[in-house]
Structure 1
Amino acid sequence: LWPPGLPSPTAPAPPPCYKRSLTTHRPLHAVAMLVDEQQEGGTLEIQEELSAVQRVKLYSQSSVSVQRLVHVQELGATAEAIGTLETMRELVPLLMPVSCDPELSVRQALAEQIVRFARVLLAEPDEQCEYDDGEMSAYDVVVSRCVPLLSGLLASNSGHDSPQGGGPQVLDAASEALIGLAGLLSPDAVGHTVLTSVLCLAHDNDAEENRVVATQLLGSLAPVVTSELCCQFILPEIISLADDPVFRVRKAAALKLGALCAVVGQALTVSRLLPVYETLARDEIWGVRKASVESLSSLAAVLPLEVRTGKLIPLLHDFYADGSRWVRIAACQALGPFLATLPVDDISAELLALFTQLSHPSNPSAADSDIAYYCAYN
């Protein structure tokens, strides 16, 4: 007989705690990263018995960067699964710590989840939850937590000390998310939240990248905010940034002038934006001039006919004769859309000849051969 008190050797062993490997259903590059982490001794398994919320809360603070990345990418889906109130209780406190993660990929993933996350909160905007700094509604969380979080990501990843190779991705994700949030809020609320944050970036005289990002965002926000706010804040700010000593800021302003014209209307475009455009079109940096060419047709769609024929056509000829080949190519690309803004009787034989010549490039063996495409499809 087997001694009493000891398990029989034939008895089945108790089942081990089941754990799911993070490598399941992951892309090959993620698996490779996981293997590297395993070789360094990192723990890469998660306990299956944990709920989705528990896993996100636990592993978004993991010491292993891949675990943090994977679970931050689940924030939006988890919020949708548990609803507004539980999201406020369980997930909102995670946002700020994750936004300070040392890994760029984790911060980028957070920015990509914010709009989806905010939609869950705004589904029940009056839902209340108690935090360390007092009780807040779901709407207040979006305004006072999500918007500043994205603004912080923009500022912290656009300075001179931003890590190379990852900063632009975080900037793009945070910028897109900020515009997405603006679309979820009322136009008046956007003015007091998103627009205020962007204006702070625009006034940063120390980091030129902040001003570049702010210029791009201001142009994107112009159709979102009220016309009054656009004319009061965005219009003068873009005009100021168009005179920035850094050419990248001026280039961003030139690219956004067309979108701004469509919002502020014909009168302000003629009186305030046209002089700015003419200055940018003659900028000493070819990249700024090229950006001006790309805004030409949008500007023409707003300006009165006499201004199009009296000022923009001469500018177009200047672009065609520009010393930069890239500006000349941009002028070829912009010619068709510009002609489409003119009545038939105002299209001169000279302009028409410029357009038809696009089908016969002077150097078919070089990149100029692509210009024929713009003749065919514009």
Structure 2
Amino acid sequence: MAKIGEPLYPIAVLIDELKNDDINLRLNSIRKLPIIGKALGEERSRKELIPFLGDNSDDEDEVLLAMAEELGRFIPFIGGVEHAHVLLPPLEALCTVEETCVRDKAVDSLCQIGAAMKEDALVNSFIPLIKRLASGQWFTARVSSCGLFHIPYPCAPEQLKDELRFIYNQLCQDDMPMVRRSAALNLGKFAATIEPVHLKTDVLSLFHVLTNDDQDSVRLLAVESCAALGKLLEPQDCVANILPVIISFSQDKSWRVRYMVANQLYELCEAVGPEPTKMDLVPAYVKLLRDNEAEVRIAAAGKVTKFCQILDPKHAIEHILPCVKELSSDSSQHVRSALASVIMGMTPVLGKDATIELLLPIFLTLLKDEVPDVRLNIISKLDQVNQVIGIDLLSQSLLPAIVQLAEDKHWRVRLALIEYIPLLSSQLGVDFFDDKLGALCMQWLEDKDIPKIP
């Protein structure tokens, strides 16, 4: 064995450690790659270290994940971006492994390296890598390839651009659902690099293929592409091509697809514009707020304030507020909790009169909820209500709920309320604190259930 300071020491130690049965030792050796790279020097790192790592991609997932992460930051240790292509082979091998998190990290590192590479290196090294992965025998390689197209496409010659779009088309129609899922997930990033003339033809064609897939796992990821594509298209093209898909997805037979629509609807409204939103997306959103599945209602309820912000008060009161009232007494505590965390944000939209007349009764219903988290979510957003309806009315409505939470049988609830006391004090004023909250604070000082801070 060579001694410390001799040229062969780092690579010899790395070989010994990577062959060791102790996974922690192997993992630590991978984490030391930057130190080893510095010790070896740029040339030996390119010629010895990187090829060695490429031959050692058969290890525990934790070790491979660390390797994928370290390689993404290794350009400085191999002589700079002009040698970045040297890092591609070991990462290409990691893109084919079975473990998803390893492949994802390898793709991230390849994107990081590709973003730094020069145009000729992207054409000569990066695009061939994509082609090999996209035509790989194992679906894992094809899955990984989908996340790489957006990196070299802008600098590719026209012929290669045509080829890349064709290959992506094939991936969107792959026999394996996992590949089509990856294609749907990455379509927005790839579309952002494609010329407008091809966006309206090739990309929209791929979009319609994915949105009509028989697998709900593919369709729900295509929902994310709706917002991304909508921002790239002209408003009239968005209304013609994206809006019908959104409406269809909001009524999809799979609750998971509807859930994704509920999560993305605010971004989709921004893409199609105010008029189509009022005419078509408001009815779709109302259906999601009243969906049979609690998970869908949770997602829709969490977006109620954002959705109301793009509507005028009249439409919000007429269409959304009745649903909000229903959700405040929903059978699912998670729906009520999601609503309580955002409902306060509706007050600036509706104004003082509508808030007092229509929203305040809903606040009071949620403040009396049997689930502590629902009540806490309301109290944590008091500043938004105080600015609209004033301190006097707010304090009268709030005190019973504060007292009830202060005496809750669960110590975590009492502790959470203590954390909100500075907010309550700043919003409700000195007099309210002296009269009401001060006594509660003294009571908490004698609370025996709250864990002592070490």
TM-score, normalised with respect to structure 2: 0.60
Per-residue deviation, 1:221: 1.4
**What is residue 141 of structure 1 aligned with on the other side?**
202
With 98-107 and 294-303 compared, the bigger mean Cα shift is at: 98-107
Alignment counterpart, residue 116 of structure 1, candidates 172, 189, 194: 189
Residue 345 (structure 1) shift: 5.6
Aligned to 2:351: 304
Q: State the secondary structure of the residue aligned to 1:74.
A: coil
What one-letter code is carried by the residue in structure 1 that aligns with 2:264?
L
How many Å apart are 1:280 and its aligned residue?
Answer: 1.6
Choose the corresponding residue for 1:198, options 240, 246, 259: 246
Q: What's 1:151 paired with? A: 211
Q: Is 1:76–2:150 an aligned residue pair? A: yes
Alignment of 1:80-119 (within 5 A): 80-82=154-156, 85-86=158-159, 88-101=161-174, 106-107=179-180, 109-119=182-192
Letter in 2 for 1:89: D
1:152 and 1:80, CA in 2 relative to 1: closer, same or farther beyond 3 A? farther
- Asked which structure has the greater RCO (Cα within 8 Å, sep 6+), the reply is 1
Matched, 1:349 2:381: no
Partner-residue secondary structure (3-state), 2:331: coil
Which secondary structure state, in structure 1, belongs to the residue aligned with residue 272 of structure 2? coil
8 Å contact from structure 1 (residues 359, 372) kept in 2: no
Match in the other structure for 1:185: 233
Supply the distance in 1 between the matched residues of 2:380 and 2:228 (Cα, whole angstroms): 30
- What is the CA distance between 1:102 and its match in structure 2? 6.3
> How far did 1:20 drift?
10
Q: Which residue among 273, 282, 285 is the counterpart of 1:238?
A: 285
**Higher mean C-alpha deviation, range 259-268 or range 242-251:** 242-251
Give 3-state SS (helix, strand or coil) of 2:129's partner: helix
The one-letter amino acid of 1:114's match is L
Q: Which residue of 2 aligns with 1:277?
A: 324
* Cα separation, partners in 2 of 1:105 and 1:332, compared to 1, 3 Å: farther
Task: Go from structure 1 to structure 2 and tell me whether the alpha carbon gap of 1:105 and 1:92 turns closer, same or farther (over 3 Å shift).
Answer: same
Whether the 8 Å contact between 1:361 and 1:371 is mirrored in structure 2 is: no
- Is the CA contact 2:171–2:183 (under 8 Å) kept in the aligned structure 1? yes
Residue aligned with 2:380, SS: helix
Please give the residue correspondences for 1:248-259 in structure 2 after superposition, counting only pairs within 5 Å: 248-259=295-306
Greater helix fraction, Structure 1 or Structure 2: 2
Q: Is the 8 A contact 2:266 2:307 kept in 1?
A: yes
Asked if residue 28 in structure 1 is aligned to residue 66 in structure 2, the reply is yes
State the alpha-carbon separation in 1 of the partners of residues 287 and 410 from structure 2.
42
Answer yes or no: is the 8 Å Cα contact 1:241–1:250 preserved in 2: yes
Once residues 94 and 354 of structure 1 are traced to their aligned partners in structure 2, the CA distance between those partners, rounded to angstroms, is 64
* Contact 1:359 1:371 (C-alpha < 8 Å) held by counterparts: yes
Instruction: Give the 3-state SS of the residue equivalent to 1:114 in structure 2.
Output: helix
Cα distance in 2 for residues equivalent to 1:284 and 1:270: 23
Distance in 2 between residues matched to 1:108 and 1:376, nearest whole Å: 47
Q: How does 1:203-214 map to 2 (within 5 A)?
A: 203-204=251-252, 206-214=253-261
What 5-or-longer segments of structure 1 have no aligned partner?
A: 1-17, 38-47, 127-136, 159-166
User: Aligned pairs, how many?
Assistant: 323
User: Following TM superposition, by how much is the alpha carbon of 1:263 offset from its aligned partner in structure 2, in angstroms?
Assistant: 1.6
Cα 1:271–1:359 shift into 2, 3 Å:
closer
Match of 1:3 in 2: none
Residues of 1 paired with 2:216 and 2:248: CA distance? 15
Matched residues in 2 for 1:101 and 1:322: separation?
50
2:142 is aligned with what amino acid?
A: R
Q: Which residue of 2 aligns with 1:131?
A: none
Question: For residues 167 and 413 of structure 2, what CA distance do their matches in structure 1 show?
Answer: 51
**What residue in structure 1 maps to residue 266 of structure 2?**
219
CA RMSD of aligned residues (A): 3.8
How far residue 367 of structure 1 moved from its aligned partner, in angstroms, is 5.0
Structure 1 distance, partners of 2:298, 2:289, is 8
Partner residue, 2:369: 322
Change (3 A) 1:185 1:33: closer
- Cα distance in 2 for partners of 1:105, 1:26 equals 21
Shift, 1:148, TM fit: 2.2
| Conserved 8 A contact 1:199-1:214 | no
Contact 2:226/2:268, CA 8 A, preserved across alignment: no
Q: Give the CA deviation at 1:323.
A: 1.6
Q: What amino acid does structure 1 have at the position aligned with 2:261?
A: A
Contact 1:336–1:375 under 8 Å retained in 2: no
Give the whole-Å Cα distance in 2 for the aligned partners of 1:54 and 1:34.
15
Percent identity (aligned) = 19
Q: Distance in 2 between matches of 1:303 and 1:334?
A: 16
Superposed CA deviations along residues 271-295 of structure 1, whole A, max 9, x for unmatched, are: 2221121112122222222222123
- Counterpart of 1:41 in structure 2 is none
- The structural deviation recorded for 1:346 is 5.6
